[in-house]
């Protein structure tokens, strides 16, 4: 194998590694989109349920009659609302960031295909032809 063939093999190997890395990032992106969507669904649901419990007529009765449990319930509902609001904000933020990544990745794939086609046509390379 000549130096040129060795260089080309190393180059293709490096390109394959980079493309594999980008594919892994894209897979992770899809997982994060799922997490963001779940945050956009579950956070408002938990906020709504907590608000319903707080607005319920028996809530203040529980606070007054059951001292320890009432205090614990109020604290837990406050924590749930706080965490849910934070989760909702982070979910929205993450979704926006991932949406821009999706656009960048689509542009990368289109540009890569365009460059591959240009190289193939310029050097008259054919995938069926072995050299």
In whole angstroms, give the CA distance from residue 42 to residue 38. 6
In whole angstroms, give the CA distance from residue 36 to residue 4. 47
What's the average model confidence in pLDDT over 24-31?
A: 85
pLDDT in tens, 75-92: 999 999 999 999 999 888
Q: Against a cut of 0.75, is the pTM above it? A: no
pLDDT at 40: 87
Percent of the chain with pLDDT over 90: 20
Q: How many CB atoms lie under 10 A from the CB of residue 27?
A: 10
What's the average model confidence in pLDDT over 4-27?
A: 72
Check if the beta carbon of residue 89 is closer than 8 Å to that of residue 44.
Answer: no
Q: From 108, 96, 80, 83, select the one nearest 32 (Cα to Cα).
A: 96
pLDDT in tens, 33-59: 888 888 889 999 999 999 999 898 888
Check if the beta carbon of residue 43 is closer than 8 Å to that of residue 85.
Answer: yes
- Residue 84: CA count within 13 A, CB half-sphere: 17
More reliable by pLDDT, 123 or 8? 123
Cα–Cα separations (whole angstroms), residue 13 to 16, 19, 116, 125, 129: 5, 10, 16, 19, 20
């Amino acid at each position: 194998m000549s130096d040129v063939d060795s260089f080309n093999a190393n180059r293709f190997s490096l390109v394959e590694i980079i493309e594999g890395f980008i594919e892994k990032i894209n897979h992770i992106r899809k997982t994060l989109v799922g997490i963001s969507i779940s945050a956009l669904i579950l956070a408002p649901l938990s906020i709504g349920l907590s608000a319903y419990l707080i607005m319920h007529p028996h809530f203040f009765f529980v606070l007054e009659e059951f001292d320890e449990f009432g205090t614990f319930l109020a604290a837990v509902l406050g924590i749930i609302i706080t965490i849910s609001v934070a989760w909702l904000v982070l979910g929205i933020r993450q979704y926006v960031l991932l949406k821009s990544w999706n656009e960048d990745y689509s542009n990368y794939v289109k540009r890569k295909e365009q460059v591959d086609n240009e190289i193939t046509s310029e050097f008259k390379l054919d995938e069926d032809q072995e050299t």
